[in-house]
Amino acid sequence: MNKLVFVALLLTNACLSHGQKSESDMNNDQKSEKTDTDWKAVLTPEQYNICFMKGTEAPGSGKYNKFFKPGYYKCVACGARLFDSATKYDSGSGWPSFYDMHSKSGLAFHKDTNYGMMRTEVLCARCGSHLGHVFDDGPKPTGLRYCINSLALEFVPDKEQ
Protein backbone atom coordinates (compact mmCIF):
# COMPACT_ATOMS: atom_id res chain seq x y z
CA MET A 1 0.00 0.00 0.00
CA ASN A 2 2.86 2.42 0.81
CA LYS A 3 4.28 1.89 -2.70
CA LEU A 4 0.91 2.83 -4.20
CA VAL A 5 0.78 6.05 -2.17
CA PHE A 6 4.36 6.88 -3.16
CA VAL A 7 3.63 6.32 -6.86
CA ALA A 8 0.45 8.42 -6.63
CA LEU A 9 2.38 11.28 -5.00
CA LEU A 10 5.16 11.00 -7.56
CA LEU A 11 2.69 11.13 -10.46
CA THR A 12 0.81 14.05 -8.91
CA ASN A 13 4.05 15.99 -8.52
CA ALA A 14 5.03 15.26 -12.11
CA CYS A 15 1.65 16.41 -13.41
CA LEU A 16 1.80 19.63 -11.41
CA SER A 17 5.32 20.50 -12.50
CA HIS A 18 5.50 23.64 -14.61
CA GLY A 19 8.92 23.14 -16.20
CA GLN A 20 11.53 25.88 -16.14
CA LYS A 21 10.83 28.78 -13.86
CA SER A 22 11.38 32.46 -14.42
CA GLU A 23 13.21 34.62 -11.88
CA SER A 24 9.90 35.87 -10.46
CA ASP A 25 8.70 32.26 -10.09
CA MET A 26 11.86 31.42 -8.16
CA ASN A 27 11.27 34.41 -5.88
CA ASN A 28 7.74 33.16 -5.19
CA ASP A 29 9.15 29.72 -4.26
CA GLN A 30 11.02 31.10 -1.24
CA LYS A 31 8.64 29.84 1.45
CA SER A 32 7.89 32.08 4.40
CA GLU A 33 8.37 30.64 7.86
CA LYS A 34 6.84 33.43 9.93
CA THR A 35 4.71 32.70 12.97
CA ASP A 36 1.28 34.17 13.73
CA THR A 37 3.02 36.64 16.05
CA ASP A 38 5.31 37.70 13.19
CA TRP A 39 2.36 38.20 10.82
CA LYS A 40 0.42 40.20 13.43
CA ALA A 41 3.44 42.50 13.80
CA VAL A 42 3.58 43.36 10.07
CA LEU A 43 -0.11 43.30 9.07
CA THR A 44 -3.03 45.41 10.21
CA PRO A 45 -5.70 43.50 12.16
CA GLU A 46 -7.95 43.66 9.07
CA GLN A 47 -5.21 42.26 6.80
CA TYR A 48 -4.42 39.51 9.31
CA ASN A 49 -8.13 38.58 9.48
CA ILE A 50 -8.32 38.21 5.68
CA CYS A 51 -4.96 36.56 5.12
CA PHE A 52 -4.67 34.17 8.05
CA MET A 53 -8.18 33.86 9.51
CA LYS A 54 -9.70 33.43 6.01
CA GLY A 55 -11.98 36.42 6.37
CA THR A 56 -13.46 38.50 3.56
CA GLU A 57 -14.12 42.17 3.03
CA ALA A 58 -17.62 43.46 2.33
CA PRO A 59 -18.46 43.59 -1.40
CA GLY A 60 -17.61 46.96 -2.94
CA SER A 61 -15.54 48.06 0.06
CA GLY A 62 -12.03 47.20 -1.14
CA LYS A 63 -9.69 49.92 -2.39
CA TYR A 64 -8.79 47.93 -5.53
CA ASN A 65 -12.33 46.99 -6.58
CA LYS A 66 -12.72 49.90 -9.05
CA PHE A 67 -8.99 50.59 -9.39
CA PHE A 68 -7.46 50.21 -12.87
CA LYS A 69 -3.94 51.58 -13.11
CA PRO A 70 -0.98 49.92 -14.86
CA GLY A 71 1.22 47.84 -12.61
CA TYR A 72 0.98 44.62 -10.66
CA TYR A 73 -0.41 43.27 -7.41
CA LYS A 74 1.64 41.46 -4.80
CA CYS A 75 0.79 39.60 -1.62
CA VAL A 76 0.42 42.07 1.23
CA ALA A 77 1.95 39.56 3.63
CA CYS A 78 5.10 38.36 1.86
CA GLY A 79 5.46 40.48 -1.28
CA ALA A 80 5.15 37.67 -3.86
CA ARG A 81 3.95 38.95 -7.25
CA LEU A 82 0.48 37.50 -7.85
CA PHE A 83 -1.49 39.35 -10.55
CA ASP A 84 -0.82 41.83 -13.36
CA SER A 85 -3.08 44.82 -13.97
CA ALA A 86 -3.45 43.78 -17.63
CA THR A 87 -5.58 40.82 -16.47
CA LYS A 88 -7.78 42.84 -14.08
CA TYR A 89 -11.37 43.53 -15.08
CA ASP A 90 -14.64 44.76 -13.57
CA SER A 91 -16.61 41.60 -12.84
CA GLY A 92 -19.37 43.43 -10.98
CA SER A 93 -18.82 41.07 -8.03
CA GLY A 94 -17.66 43.78 -5.61
CA TRP A 95 -14.11 42.42 -5.35
CA PRO A 96 -11.03 42.96 -7.50
CA SER A 97 -11.17 40.37 -10.27
CA PHE A 98 -8.49 38.98 -12.56
CA TYR A 99 -8.82 36.48 -15.39
CA ASP A 100 -5.28 35.14 -14.99
CA MET A 101 -2.46 34.87 -12.45
CA HIS A 102 1.04 36.25 -12.88
CA SER A 103 2.70 32.80 -12.74
CA LYS A 104 1.52 29.28 -12.06
CA SER A 105 3.87 28.88 -9.12
CA GLY A 106 2.63 32.03 -7.38
CA LEU A 107 -0.74 30.67 -6.27
CA ALA A 108 -1.96 27.59 -4.47
CA PHE A 109 -5.51 26.24 -4.44
CA HIS A 110 -7.61 24.52 -1.80
CA LYS A 111 -11.10 23.01 -1.91
CA ASP A 112 -13.41 25.17 0.22
CA THR A 113 -16.75 23.72 1.33
CA ASN A 114 -17.53 26.33 3.99
CA TYR A 115 -21.03 27.82 4.17
CA GLY A 116 -22.49 24.92 2.17
CA MET A 117 -20.75 26.01 -1.03
CA MET A 118 -18.24 24.27 -3.28
CA ARG A 119 -15.51 26.81 -4.06
CA THR A 120 -11.80 26.88 -4.78
CA GLU A 121 -9.83 28.97 -2.33
CA VAL A 122 -6.86 30.95 -3.70
CA LEU A 123 -3.76 31.13 -1.50
CA CYS A 124 -0.37 32.75 -1.86
CA ALA A 125 1.96 29.85 -2.63
CA ARG A 126 4.84 31.47 -0.75
CA CYS A 127 3.27 32.33 2.60
CA GLY A 128 -0.07 30.50 2.52
CA SER A 129 -2.17 33.61 3.05
CA HIS A 130 -5.82 33.48 1.98
CA LEU A 131 -6.45 35.76 -1.00
CA GLY A 132 -9.99 34.91 -2.12
CA HIS A 133 -11.55 32.37 -4.48
CA VAL A 134 -11.46 31.44 -8.16
CA PHE A 135 -14.58 30.72 -10.22
CA ASP A 136 -15.09 29.43 -13.77
CA ASP A 137 -17.34 32.29 -14.91
CA GLY A 138 -14.66 34.72 -16.07
CA PRO A 139 -13.89 36.17 -19.50
CA LYS A 140 -11.78 34.69 -22.26
CA PRO A 141 -9.07 33.62 -22.74
CA THR A 142 -9.05 31.67 -19.43
CA GLY A 143 -12.72 31.67 -18.47
CA LEU A 144 -11.62 32.20 -14.86
CA ARG A 145 -12.48 34.87 -12.32
CA TYR A 146 -9.97 35.25 -9.51
CA CYS A 147 -12.10 37.09 -6.94
CA ILE A 148 -9.53 38.57 -4.53
CA ASN A 149 -9.74 40.66 -1.36
CA SER A 150 -8.15 44.12 -1.68
CA LEU A 151 -6.76 43.79 1.84
CA ALA A 152 -4.70 40.76 0.72
CA LEU A 153 -3.03 42.78 -2.04
CA GLU A 154 -0.56 45.61 -2.44
CA PHE A 155 -0.42 47.48 -5.75
CA VAL A 156 2.93 48.30 -7.37
CA PRO A 157 2.59 50.90 -10.15
CA ASP A 158 4.47 50.60 -13.42
CA LYS A 159 7.60 52.73 -13.41
CA GLU A 160 7.21 55.90 -15.40
CA GLN A 161 9.35 55.91 -18.57
> Which residue numbers are catalytic?
147
- Of 125, 152, 157, the C-alpha closest to 65 is 152
In what order do the strands lie in the sheet containing 119-124?
Answer: 88-89, 97-98, 145-148, 130-135, 119-124, 107-112
Amino acid at 52: F
In the chain, beta strands by DSSP E: 71-75, 81-84, 88-89, 97-98, 107-112, 119-124, 130-135, 145-148, 153-157
